[in-house]
């Protein structure tokens, strides 16, 4: 086994450390965040720090870096109070990666990267038509983390749009069937395959596999 | 396409909503969190809300639910200020799932679920021997989120232990080779397969695949 301590991390070449730390915490949720500003200029930014906060109310969190396109996203979210999360799947991950390039002010990643804006009801933020699982969120909390200049934001899910065939009878969304990808580090995109669903764990009882692949009608 | 709005979510059967919201935000990082209290009773709890916060200093965040085993973990972390993250892989995911059962006070998930405690230098929190990528963290920040009683904690990575063969030349940790699994929702464990690593995105340039599978010597 190889080990690194604080001093090793401190002395590491910067890009090596960044790649190591970004990948070592495990596979990550990956979403294209869609926003719009007061002047109606839209934006897509790629986020891999999405996390579940609660299901009732339905809260989702994410970490926003202080610079670049993610900062633009934060500005837009603070302006209008809404944003969308759009899944990255096997069909769109290369174009989704391209949204992380630095575009000029006034250029939208929608047109520059070949994505299509989609609007639902009177919800102001743009969804990504090419995604097959999409969420519309309202900003609930902004938590600055001064130790590295990032901001944690938490939103409440107000809209869900997805292909009906991905919803199982018990509410489970079959992400593998939707071909959603997961990312390791900043650039390693992975497809997935189900090993199994396990029943609620009980003390003194062996874990059992669930058989709930049946989709909702 | 199927859609749900706030009212639909509000009126949904509780378990259906919980399963839907837990799975819809994408594949999640999964870690066994190892802790110990002042009386030297150890604990493993399964967390699927791990997120990257920064690489320099190396910060990792997670969300702790207010009840059950996760609450026990939080108490231990606040007592000693340290904890470990241990990857869930294809060889240990069934036992890892079992750690989420409710054990009695004084019972350790290490012995109850067949895991082995491992200690490194003078770091107080127990690592899980059966994991092949492990991190030792020091608590840096505790952020209560009163809207649903959860707590976000952020720790700094102080120790990294992993099989050397998983580290690529540029620092990337090959999670698929380590057989780390990812989870959708609360119970759907997935293995992964690399689609590709993409080079840093540049405006006006097509994304290129990286060829960096070479491991560090």
Interface test with A, best of B18, B26, B139 (most A CBs within 10 A): B26
How far are the Cα atoms of A44, A92, A98, A106 from residue A114, in angstroms, in the given order?
11, 10, 10, 16
Segment A157-214, tens digit of pLDDT: 999 999 999 999 999 999 999 999 999 999 999 999 999 999 999 998 989 999 766 6
CA angle B200, B205, B209 (to 5 degrees): 50
Peptide bond into A57 cis (omega under 30): yes
Measured in Å, how far apart are chain B's first and last C-alpha atoms? 50
Nearest CA in chain B to A202: B101
Among all chains, which residue has been given the structure tokens 């002010």?
A105
A residues 195..214 contacting B (CB < 8 A): 195-203, 205-207, 210
Interface test with B, best of A5, A9, A25, A46 (most B CBs within 10 A): A25
Segment B32-74, tens digit of pLDDT: 999 999 999 999 999 999 999 999 999 999 999 998 888 999 9
In sequence order, what are the beta bridge partners of A117? A128
Using CA atoms, how far apart are residues A60 and A181, in angstroms rounded to an integer? Answer: 18
- B168 C-beta neighbours (distance < 10 Å), count: 23
Q: Which residues in chain A show pLDDT less than 70?
A: 212-217
ipTM above 0.90 for this complex? yes
Residue B212: pLDDT band by 50, 70, 90 thresholds? low
Radius of gyration of chain B (CA): 19
Sign of CA dihedral B71, B72, B73, B76: positive
The predicted structure's pLDDT at residue A217: 41
Closest to B194 measured CA to CA, from B164, B172, B216: B172
- A125 C-beta neighbours (distance < 10 Å), count: 26
Nearest CA in chain A to B149: A54
3-state secondary structure of A141: strand
Among all chains, which residue has been given the structure tokens 């060829």?
B211
Listing DSSP states for chain B in one string gives -EEEEHHHHHHS-HHHHHHHHHHHT--B--EEEEEE-TT--EEEEEE--EEEEEETTEEEEEEE-SSHHHHHHHHHHHHHSEEEEEE-BTTTHHHHHHTTS-PPTT--HHHHTT--EE--TT--SPEETT-SEEEEEEEEEEEEETTTTEEEEEEEEEEEEE-GGGBBTTS-B-TTTTTB-EEETTTEEEEEEEEEEB----TTS---B----PBP-
Shortest Cα distance, chain A CAs vs residue B207, angstroms: 6
Segment B125-158, tens digit of pLDDT: 999 999 999 999 999 999 999 999 999 999 999 9
Segment B98-133, tens digit of pLDDT: 999 999 888 899 999 999 999 999 999 999 999 999
Average pLDDT, chain B: 95
Nearest CA in chain B to A18: B55
In chain B, what are the domains? 13-190 (2.30.110.10)
In sequence order, what are the beta bridge partners of A198? A209
Residues of A in contact with B175 (CB under 8 A): 23, 26-27, 184
Among all chains, which residue has been given the structure tokens 């070592």?
A24
Percent of chain B with pLDDT over 90: 89
Using CA atoms, how far apart are residues B47 and B53, in angstroms rounded to an integer? Answer: 16
pLDDT at B205 over 50: yes
- Shortest CB distance from B198 goes to which of A24, A162, A187? A187
In sequence order, what are the beta bridge partners of A144? A151
B18 in A contact zone (CB under 8 Å): yes
Nearest CA in chain B to A3: B161
Shortest Cα distance, chain A CAs vs residue B126, angstroms: 15
């Amino acid at each position: 086994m190889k080990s690194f301590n604080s001093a090793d991390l401190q002395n590491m070449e910067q890009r090596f450390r960044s790649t190591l730390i970004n990948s070592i915490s495990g596979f990550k949720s990956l979403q294209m965040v869609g926003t719009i500003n007061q002047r109606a200029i839209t934006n897509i930014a790629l986020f891999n720090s999405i996390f579940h906060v609660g299901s009732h109310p339905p809260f989702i969190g994410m970490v926003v870096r202080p610079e670049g396109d993610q900062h633009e996203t934060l500005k837009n979210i603070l302006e209008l109070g809404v944003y969308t999360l759009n899944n990255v799947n096997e069909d769109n991950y290369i174009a989704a990666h391209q949204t992380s390039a630095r575009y000029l002010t006034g250029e939208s990643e929608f047109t520059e990267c070949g994505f299509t804006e989609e609007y639902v009801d009177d919800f102001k933020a743009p969804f990504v038509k090419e995604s097959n699982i999409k969420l519309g969120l309202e900003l609930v909390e902004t938590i600055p983390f001064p130790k590295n200049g990032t901001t944690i934001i938490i939103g409440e899910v107000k809209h869900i749009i997805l292909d009906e065939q991905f919803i199982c009878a018990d509410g489970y969304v079959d992400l593998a069937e939707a071909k959603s990808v997961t990312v390791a580090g900043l650039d390693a995109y992975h497809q997935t395959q189900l090993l199994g669903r396990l029943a609620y764990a009980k003390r003194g009882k062996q874990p059992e596999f669930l058989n709930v692949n049946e989709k909702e009608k």
